[in-house]
Amino acid sequence: MVLIAFILFSLFPLYQLFQIYQSSQSFSAQAEAEEYRYRLVLISPYLGDAYWNQVITGVESAAVQAKVSLDIKGTNLPDNEELQKAMNMAISSQVDGILLLGIDDASFKETIQKATVQGIPVVTIMADLPESLRKSYIGSNHYETGLELGNYLKKTLSVNETIGIIKGNMVTSIENERMKGLMDSLKASSIKLAETDMQHPEDQTNELLNQYPSMKVLIGTGVDDGDIIVRTIEARSALSGFKVYTFDNTQETMNLLRSGKIEGTISHSHALMGEKGVETIVKWLEKKDLPLPVTTYTKTGVMTEGSRP
């Protein structure tokens, strides 16, 4: 009898520990469920890129504020197959919402439709896919940025000026929209736009300068075009006398602007895009402020050395 009592007494602390463990596990699961109301995924083709990281910073900040979990998937460079895998994994795991850069490819529109059919809202950021079933687009009005830069150039350039257009990688619709705005802004003026069929920005720059020896103004429509244009001109002659403009306020572009190597660029509100992207999905999930705006345009503007912050 004494032996039985001893055994029971010895096992009692173990039972208490087991009960405490079960309780803590239950509490942990409950706390996690309370901490994260929804599960969101951000899919990006530019992971590690400092420019896109501004968007990620905004998404992360808003996710913390809204108490939603955030998973970031994607690739370092555009790879449609890998991005499709990331999207399908997000759909299969039944996430509550997807944010992504709108890649101009039919397969992405199909995958967005697949997510929508399963009740998963998709919001595009920075680049849109208006023909898809995405719930909303958050980002710059790229057509408007073309108008902004064109209107600025009409005020600052001489009449009958010929501007060389350097096009980057057309992964999204962004550059096409910029060009439409730029052409619409300048069509009634004496300023002319010149392009080439060459593929690489360096080759385009050389081709245009060879065709138009008096050309002194060039515009890069892609993210990294400004640096390539400047280096190509410097390899041929002195940069003085040339005016180079771009459409993206990357860190490299800002360094060129500060050093006087380019005349101006377009500023964007990338962190705000990320913040509003999360806010928009959460509103949809909570059925607040419906219907959602189809587009939410963030602030842009022409930035020169004299106007930069």
Per-residue pLDDT tens over the stretch 62-78? 999 999 999 999 888 87
Unique residue bearing structure tokens 């905004």: 58
Domains of the chain, first to last: 37-140+270-300 (3.40.50.2300), 142-267 (3.40.50.2300)
Pairing of β 122-125 and β 97-100: parallel
Residue 46 has pLDDT above 90, yes or no: no
**Average pLDDT over all residues of the chain:** 87
pTM for this entry: 0.85
* Average pLDDT, integer, range 267-291: 95
**Coil, strand, or helix at residue 165?**
strand
Peptide bond into 293 cis (omega under 30): no
CA 13: distance to chain centroid?
56
Confidence of residue 43 (pLDDT cuts 50, 70, 90): very high
Length of the chain: 309
Q: CA 261, CA 254: separation in Å to the nearest integer?
A: 10
